[in-house]
């Protein structure tokens, strides 16, 4: 592998960092200072500035207004954007829209591209991926999917309950995963459907309150009651829902890793600056070994995480599924980010747990990273199966 970052990618990442300093972080500080949430008009103003700066939709083709970067090129750019929770939203590379655009680019037909993907790529609409269900439905195990789609004449009728559907409050359309053949193998009996928000049969029950401050777009609970959709609403083909979901979730896990690495890196910089200027016990905090080792461990772990991301991104760019590599990266980076933020908050002491710094907000947000897009335990199971397959004893004859 060549670990060097191409010059043009370095230049883009630096431009993104400068954009965050000039435009994004001041808004972040205002929201933190005033204790208010990001509003839609604030985001649209920020997005207009990102477009004007040529920093819009890193993964989308240039002819759609994007930057046309490949999976192998985006890690440093997404990391730079992730230095603020607002950065990926501003540049249009935030979840779930980024993952949904990737999915639609791969599998949408020409009509679906015009109706759903192009407006989304231009930032005119928002989207949601509706797969997770409350117990006893599907969470980490998609084979437990309970939402059903059945044929009614030429159309489909969808009934079921979903929750933690990110962006659900603002989504203009939903990508819904439903069982279409309960007798088929669990991996071949589900289908993805594209449903406009105003379709009769979609009810937003509530925004599910989560740890930390409310996220832009929310994480809603929905009820689908006799949601009628035509055959043209199917994304890909009938029965391919699980395969399509996996093709979306693999890269999406990795882009989460990139963005959160940026957040943890900025936290390390904030903590180091604070420790350099804070005097205690006869010198600056940075003169004490206990603090030095926290800073060193954080820097080393972040670098290890970057290398895991880079390898997985390289494999995906080669057309490999890279399921084990993305699982390894997801577990390690999500846990590294948690440890780094914890150390940085500890170094900053009382200031760290206050809202004067963003560290406490980031600490809350990062905790969920070990759960969504596959809990750490599920990804460890994926890796363990690979280890057993490679090195386990052959079955007894």
- pLDDT, residue 282, reads 92
Q: What are the angstrom distances between the C-alpha of 294 and each of 283, 300, 316, 363, 364?
A: 17, 10, 33, 16, 20
First to last CA, the chain: 41
Residue 395 pLDDT grade (very low, low, confident, very high; cuts 50, 70, 90): confident
Alpha-helix residue ranges (DSSP H) falling in the chain: 7-19, 25-34, 40-52, 74-81, 87-91, 97-107, 110-112, 118-121, 241-277, 289-317, 323-353, 359-367, 376-391
In this predicted model, what pLDDT tens digit does every residue of 260-297 receive, in sequence order?
999 999 999 999 999 999 999 999 999 999 999 999 99
pLDDT at 1: 65
The percentage of the chain sitting over the pLDDT mark of 70, rounded to a whole number, equals: 99
- State the pLDDT confidence band at 394, using cuts at 50, 70 and 90: confident
> What confidence tier does 397 reach under pLDDT thresholds 50, 70, 90?
low
Rounded CA-CA distance 348/65 in Å is: 41
Taking 90 as the threshold, does the pLDDT of residue 141 lie above it? no
Q: Which of 108, 379, 103 is nearest to 249 (CA)?
A: 103
Q: pLDDT tens, 315-324?
A: 999 999 999 9
Q: Which domains does the chain have, with CATH numbers?
A: 7-94 (1.10.540.10), 127-239 (2.40.110.10), 243-391 (1.20.140.10)
Rg from Cα positions in the chain = 22
Residue 303 pLDDT greater than 70, yes or no: yes
Beta-bridged to residue 152, according to DSSP, are 155
| pTM (whole model) above 0.75 | yes
* Whole-angstrom distance, CA of residue 139 vs CA of residue 99: 18
- Tell me the average pLDDT of the chain: 96
The pLDDT of residue 323: 94
Across the range 40-45, mean pLDDT stands at: 98
Sign of the alpha-carbon torsion through 114, 239, 159, 136: negative
Query: CB of 122 within 8 A of CB of 116?
Result: no
* Residue 89 predicted with pLDDT over 80: yes
Q: Is the pLDDT of residue 330 over 80?
A: yes
Average pLDDT of the segment spanning 176-204 = 95
**Tens digit of each residue's pLDDT (9 = 90 or more) over 196-233:** 999 999 999 999 999 988 999 999 999 999 999 999 99
Report DSSP state, residue 232: G
Tokens of 45: 């103003």
Q: Would you state the torsion angle of the CA atoms of residues 81, 337, 316, 175, taken in this order, to the nearest 10 degrees?
A: -70
* Rounded Cα gap, residues 107 and 98, in angstroms: 15
Rounded mean pLDDT, 156-168: 98
Strands 190-196 and 155-166: unpaired
């Amino acid at each position: 592998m060549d670990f060097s970052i191409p010059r043009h990618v370095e230049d883009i990442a630096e431009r993104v960092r400068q954009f965050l300093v000039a435009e994004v972080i001041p808004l972040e500080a205002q929201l933190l200072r005033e204790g208010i949430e990001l509003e839609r008009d604030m985001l649209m103003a920020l997005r207009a500035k990102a477009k004007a700066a040529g920093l819009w939709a890193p993964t989308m083709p240039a002819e759609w207004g994007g930057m046309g970067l490949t999976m192998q090129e985006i890690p440093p750019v997404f990391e730079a954007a992730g230095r603020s929770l607002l950065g990926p939203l501003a540049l249009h590379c935030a979840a779930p829209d980024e993952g949904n655009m990737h999915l639609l680019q791969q599998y949408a037909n020409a009509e679906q591209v015009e109706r759903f993907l192009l407006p989304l790529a231009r930032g005119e609409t928002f989207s949601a991926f509706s797969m997770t269900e409350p117990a006893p439905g599907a969470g980490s195990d998609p084979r437990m999917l309970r939402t059903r789609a059945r044929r009614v004449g030429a159309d489909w009728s969808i009934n079921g309950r979903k929750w933690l559907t990110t962006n659900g409050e603002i989504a203009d359309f939903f990508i819904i995963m439903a069982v279409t053949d309960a007798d088929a193998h669990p991996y071949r009996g589900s289908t993805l459907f594209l449903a406009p928000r105003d379709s009769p049969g979609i009810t937003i029950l509530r925004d599910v309150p989560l740890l930390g401050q409310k996220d832009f777009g929310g994480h809603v609970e929905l009820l689908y009651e006799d949601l009628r959709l035509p055959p043209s609403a199917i994304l890909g083909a009938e029965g391919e829902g699980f395969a399509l979901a996996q093709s979306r979730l693999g890269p999406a896990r990795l882009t989460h890793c990139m963005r959160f690495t940026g957040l943890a890196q900025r936290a390390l910089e904030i903590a180091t600056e604070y420790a350099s200027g804070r005097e205690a016990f006869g010198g600056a905090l940075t003169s004490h070994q206990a603090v030095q080792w926290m800073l060193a461990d954080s820097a080393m772990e972040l670098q290890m995480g970057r290398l895991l991301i880079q390898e997985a991104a390289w494999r995906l760019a080669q057309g490999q599924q890279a399921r084990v590599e993305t699982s390894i990266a997801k577990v390690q980076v999500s846990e590294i980010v948690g440890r780094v933020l914890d150390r940085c908050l500890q170094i900053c002491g009382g200031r760290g747990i206050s809202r004067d710094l963003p560290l406490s907000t980031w600490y809350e947000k990062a905790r969920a990273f070990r759960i969504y897009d596959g809990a750490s335990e599920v990804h460890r199971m994926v890796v363990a199966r690979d280890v057993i397959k490679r090195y386990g004893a052959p079955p007894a004859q």
